[in-house]
Amino acid sequence: MKLSEICKKINIKFTDADIEITGLHTLNEATSSQISFFNDKKYIDQLATTKAGAVLVSSEYAQLLPSHSIALTTDEAYLKLALASKIFEHKISTATDKPNTGNNCQIDTKASFGKSVVLGDNVIIMAGAYIGDNVSIDSNTLIYPNVTIYHGSVIGANCIIHAGTVIGSDGYGFAHTKMGEHIKIYQNGNVVLEDDVEIGANATVDRAVFGTTYIRKGSKLDNLIQIAHNCDIGEHSLLAAQVGMAGSTTTGRNIVMGGQSATAGHLHLEDFTTIAGKGGVTKSLKGGRTYAGFPAIDHKTWLRLQAKLAFLVKRK
């Protein structure tokens, strides 16, 4: 869509030379045919280096943009992003089509498919599963009953997805008006599960706002887990039941998270980090260590703290 048309739809004044826009992305990832946004000083250094064709930005910071980026000046950049995201949303349809299947696939007659689904060899899809538009599932993957895989998701080879799990549902993203109304940010990214991933029953992996939510190869997720939008879970990681990962959490390889542990958003856990059960991660953590408690601290320190607390209680 022409940038001038988008600006008209989201009520932003536009007088520059027109360009064609294909979507939205972050300052760091946007291309010359995409719109980005700036509403957090934490990313101010990215204004000068962005390749975005246009940026939603307040007049205070517009001069920091490179000459190739058009400043779309507004004091509500995040809200305007939400309004623009609807323009590029996936058009929901109940239309169905037969999947393009490889050799020796087993597909229950009660499984449902959207359009342009591609299956590799030896894929098994059981009753009640729904596979949305433009999903690809690689060879030797097993989809148990009542799994839902939303449009655009990519499932690798040798994966197992257990009953009731949802892959690619919308991330939890809203912009807020000055009156406190909540405006949906349409989640236009996708989910990628790499090879040899197993996900337990009734888990959810949210699609990205833009870009991709990743579960990297060899990782194993237990039942009842929530992976939020734009997370990137490293290779060969183990997540126990009821783990919750807030948006844009990234990890190195071989992390371990005990039951009911969780992270705040926009954090990074380095390689071989272990979080004990019920641990609450509030900041990025160095790898090769075990953490416990809330906020999560070194496990040995946490044990000493618990011992001192128990001693104080006993003395009373």
Tens of pLDDT along 49-84? Answer: 999 999 999 999 999 999 999 999 999 999 999 999
The reported pLDDT for the residue numbered 109 is 97
CA distance 145 to 161: 9
Is 77 a member of any domain? yes
What CATH number should be reported for the domain holding residue 214? 2.160.10.10
- The rounded percent of the chain whose pLDDT value lies above 90 is 97
Is 141 a member of any domain? no
User: Which of 159, 97, 107, 99 lies closest to 129 in space, CA to CA?
Assistant: 107
The reported pLDDT for the residue numbered 314 is 78
Count of residues in the chain: 316
CA distance 195 to 138: 8
Number of domains in the chain: 2
* Interval 105-150: pLDDT, tens: 999 999 999 999 999 999 999 999 999 999 999 999 999 999 999 9
DSSP code, position 170 = P
Among residues 25, 229, 236, 266, the one annotated as catalytic is: 229
Q: Write down which residue in 67, 87, 107 finishes a domain.
A: 87
Is-contact 81 59, C-beta < 8 A? no
Secondary structure of residue 63 in the 3-state scheme: helix
pTM: 0.94
What CATH number should be reported for the domain holding residue 82? 3.40.1390.10
The reported pLDDT for the residue numbered 142 is 98
The pairing of beta strand 268-269 with beta strand 70-73: unpaired
Q: Could you tell me where the DSSP H helices lie in the chain? A: 3-9, 77-87, 299-315
Is 53 a member of any domain? yes
Q: How many CA atoms lie within 13 A of 47 on its CB side?
A: 22
Q: How far is CA 114 from the centre of its chain?
A: 22
Is 119 a member of any domain? no
Is 156 a member of any domain? no
Is 25 a member of any domain? yes
pLDDT surpassing 80 at residue 316: no
Is 183 a member of any domain? yes
Domain range holding 48? 3-87
Secondary structure of residue 43 in the 3-state scheme: helix
Q: Write down which residue in 87, 111, 141 finishes a domain.
A: 87
Is-contact 38 63, C-beta < 8 A? no
229 is catalytic: yes
Is 158 a member of any domain? no
Q: Write down which residue in 69, 87, 105 finishes a domain.
A: 87
